[in-house]
Homo-oligomer: A and B are copies of this chain.
Amino acid sequence: MTPARGDHDARRSEVSEGVWRVLSSRGFEGLTLRAVAAELGASTGLLTHYFPNKRALLGHALEELDRRSGSRPRRTAPADGSPPPPAGLARLRAALLDVLPLDEAAVAGNRIWVGSWDVALADPELAAAHAGRYGRSREALEGHVADAQRLGELPAGADAAALAAAAQAFVLGLVVQALFAPGEFPPERQTALLDGYLAGLAAG
């Protein structure tokens, strides 16, 4: 990274890459202007042009996390434009699989999501933003549950909101387990545990 004036967007994207690499290896705790500067071979002074303080750097990191999470290919929104799995249980399963660390990109993204919880819980504004994200995600899951109930794939009498909250809890906790013990929770075991969970729901 050179301090000379250049393509502003390219520079900004280079800075974002540096932030992401520091986050991936050291987490939010290790995310400092100095660490990002070192990662980019730039001066701390140059970095303060982008991030006047630590909070601005954290804010950017969370935006970047959002952007990358939103743009990565998902089973519920295939990158090639092919249709998602059919509505109901298949789409609920796809949405839950989309959360799990089943490949390298999803491991990196999840590692940073999980790391963001410490920072977010310490800041009411960031905590509210995270709570909003998880709330919207539960609403989407609730829609899939309701579809599955209409289709007779899940028991009609069950509380769809409760099933959605429970399913979200299940995958989030599985993410944490898999990040700490990847050897015990390879992708096929994560998938089998999720399928066992969904079979239990279907059995009512």
Contact = CB atoms under 8 A, between A and B. Distances in A.
Contacts of A58: 29
Contact of A121 (B111, B168, B204): B111
A131 B119 CA distance: 22
Interface stretch (A65-73, A143-151, A176-184): A176-184
Contacts of A181: 131, 134-135
Contacts of A114: 117-118, 121
A177 B170 contact: no
B134 A177 contact: yes
A29 B118 contact: yes
A10 B135 CA distance: 44
A45 interface: no
User: In the complex this chain forms, how many copies of it are found?
Assistant: 2
Interface string A160-199: 0010011011111111110111001100000011001100
Contact of A166 (B130, B162, B193): B193
A121 B130 contact: no
A84 interface: no
Given A28-B118, A118-B118, A165-B184, 14 more contacts: A26-B122, A27-B119, A27-B122, A115-B118, A115-B122, A116-B118, A117-B117, A117-B118, A131-B180, A165-B177, A169-B172, A169-B173, A173-B175, A200-B200
Contacts of A166: 170, 174, 193, 196-197
Contact of A117 (B169, B176, B197): B176
A53 interface: no
